[in-house]
Amino acid sequence: MGSVTDDEVIRKRLLIDGDGAGDDRRINLLLKTFTKWCNSPGTPEESFTQYQRMLGTLAQCEFSLGKTLMVYDMNLREMENYGTIYSNIEQNITSAHEKIAECKKEIQRAKRVRKNRQEYDALAKVIQNHPNRHETLKQLEALDKELQQLSNIKENVDAKLELRKKQFHVLLSTIQELQQTLENDEKLDTDENNQQSPSGSAE
């Protein structure tokens, strides 16, 4: 007879005990022991000893039940937490869309500013043909300052748009990771239920 591996031992225990805690087996053994204790004409000492064993087995079952309920409650809280995280992510995505739309509007304004700048350049060329050079120079200086400001505005708008794009990509990555985690949890729960179903039908 070949040696039994640890995986085979664990697999057999899961098939027999369901989740490996041995609750079904322990309850069945408790029922059999109780029936035997009721029908056994033993001495008071033996009956008391058997009674204490049954109490111990019952305490183990109650402890296992309490632990299972705590795990169930923890899973419910975790699902609620996932729901909150998902809701926050949806709000962040909505906010990101709004910010992207705002950035697009800023780009449109920047394009209009650029168009105005080109018109100002054309106007400056016309002004240069006028005889009043001093006033023309003043106007040119003012136009240069305005062009510099517009350039700074455009650079700021481009930087904001790039930042919003990066934030949106981060949000999308977070959503994908969360969805993958939820799918893995659902798959794990399905696998555990599939493993528990054969054990229940076997007993």
Look over the chain and give the mean of its residue pLDDT values, rounded to a whole number: 79
Residues 126-155 have a mean pLDDT of: 81
Q: Are residues 122 and 155 in the same domain?
A: no
Predicted confidence (pLDDT) per residue in 96-106, tens digit:
999 999 999 98
Name the burial class of residue 73, with classes exposed (0-12), middle (13-18) and buried (19+) by CB atoms within 10 angstroms of its CB: exposed
Single residue among 129, 154, 179 that ends a domain in this structure? 129
Q: Indicate the DSSP class of residue 203.
A: -
42/46 Cα distance (integer angstroms): 6
Residues 43 and 117 occupy one common structural domain: yes
- 202 within a domain of the structure (yes/no): no
Last residue of a domain, one of 108, 129, 150: 129
Q: Are residues 11 and 87 in the same domain?
A: yes
With b for 16 or more beta-carbon neighbours within 10 A and e for fewer, the 43-58 pattern comes to eeeeeeebeeebeebe
Query: Do 138 and 99 fall into the same domain?
Result: no
Model pLDDT for residues 1-39, shown as the tens digit of each residue: 445 566 665 655 555 444 445 667 777 777 787 787 777
- The domain total for the chain is 2
- Is the same domain home to 22 and 94? yes
pLDDT value at 65 more than 70: yes
Which residues constitute the domain of residue 42?
Answer: 6-129
Residue (of 60, 65, 63, 69) closest to 33 by Cα position: 60
Better-scored residue on pLDDT, 124 or 118 = 118
| Residue 100 and residue 164 in contact, taking contact as beta carbons nearer than 8 Å | yes
3-state secondary structure of 191: helix
Determine the residue type at 173: S
